[in-house]
Amino acid sequence: MFHRESGVFKTSYAADMALYPLPIARWTVAALLVLFAVVAPLSLHEYYLSIINLVLIAVVGALGLNILVGYTGQISIGHAAFMSVGAYTAANLAVKAHLPFWITLPAGGLMAALIGAIVGIPSLRIKGLYLAIATLAGQLIIEWTINHVPWISGGAQASIQVPRPSLLGYELRTQGQLYFFLLFFTVVAIVATLNLVRSRIGRAFVAIRDQDIAAEIIGIDIFRYKLLSFAISSFYAGVCGVLYTYYLGIANYEQFQIVVSIDYLAMIIIGGLGSVLGSILGATFVTFLPIVIRWTMESFGGLFFSPAELPGTISSLRLIVFGALIILFLVVEPEGLNRLWRNIRNYFRVWPFSY
């Protein structure tokens, strides 16, 4: 509302690639940083921080999936399996080799990247639904392997307890302490993605998504970039898995089953394919909305239902409302929350003199 341009007009490539398209973006980022780094941890109850923590972890995973699905156009239903690869790599390193988190975290990411690149090999020959099935097979193979190899899974329970992350001898265990731990890695992931998608690599991904034959003709090495996309996406997934592991204090493959892959696909589709902000909005939407719906029903449900019926009603109604809202948002704007936000912003940019 404080702008008075009639639109955004870019006249050079440098301007088009700038991280901050408008001066106000710089201030917005600074304000958000202060809000999340100072105001939120000081003013919010631990419970609300725990919800933000879950959102922060989901954002990392959604960003990774969006690089693959949104930017490169390769579908994957194996995202949760790559998270479990990262989780078990980090857990084994932390428990067997007693390594600190700043080694296990990138190691978990790298191992997931390696496995992701291998699972991505079929993408060189097949596309679309066929690729979806190939990655689905990857998900099931990884689940089965973890379940049946005690050396990886740590025994019949398939769960490994990891020590809390510690920084300079200081153990991070409360939600407030873990909040800073997670916030740091999420901010790094967001900045890295923003830079990735405006670099040579990111442009190559977009070219492959839009028309892979054309991309090949203009000199993009499809083989290299498709595998790179799988590797980078899986790296994020692996890091997301490691963050879950440190957040919960345990690596357990049952929390990375196929339903979770579907959840992450839902996040990026609702948020907006091929957009960083969309990944953030989508992760927030899918993680936070069911909780908000429950709060609302706990407050007002008593007006319509007896206390005995309320718990069962909340569970069922929550699913219905959540599903209905997803449909509503997608019907209103098929390109996701990111597009919706941009429409609103563009409207107010020229308000009240729109044409």
Report the distance separating Cα 203 and Cα 189, nearest Å. Answer: 18
Tell me the closest approach of the beta carbon of residue 264 to other proteins, in angstroms: 12
Tell me the closest approach of the beta carbon of residue 230 to other proteins, in angstroms: 25
* Pair 266, 337: CB distance under 8 Å: no
CB of 26 or CB of 173, closer to other proteins: 173
Tell me the closest approach of the beta carbon of residue 172 to other proteins, in angstroms: 12
What's the half-sphere exposure (Cβ side, CA atoms, 13 Å) at 101?
Answer: 25
CB of 100 or CB of 311, closer to other proteins: 311
What's the half-sphere exposure (Cβ side, CA atoms, 13 Å) at 320?
Answer: 7
Report the distance separating Cα 118 and Cα 222, nearest Å. Answer: 15
CB of 47 or CB of 353, closer to other proteins: 47
Contacts of 355 (CB under 8 A, 6+ apart): none
Tell me the closest approach of the beta carbon of residue 270 to other proteins, in angstroms: 17
CB of 259 or CB of 331, closer to other proteins: 259
Nearest to 158 by CA among 143, 137, 173: 143
CB of 226 or CB of 318, closer to other proteins: 318
Nearest to 208 by CA among 230, 234, 238: 230
Q: Which two tokens stand for residue 261?
A: 């892959």
Enumerate binding residues for other proteins (CB under 8 A). Answer: 45-47, 50-51, 54, 57-58, 144, 147, 155-159, 161, 173, 175, 244, 247-250, 252, 254-255, 259-260, 287, 290-291, 294, 308, 311-312, 314-316, 318-319
Tell me the closest approach of the beta carbon of residue 261 to other proteins, in angstroms: 13
CB of 195 or CB of 315, closer to other proteins: 315
- Beta-bridged to residue 250, according to DSSP, are 161
Report the distance separating Cα 190 and Cα 196, nearest Å. Answer: 10
Tell me the closest approach of the beta carbon of residue 36 to other proteins, in angstroms: 19
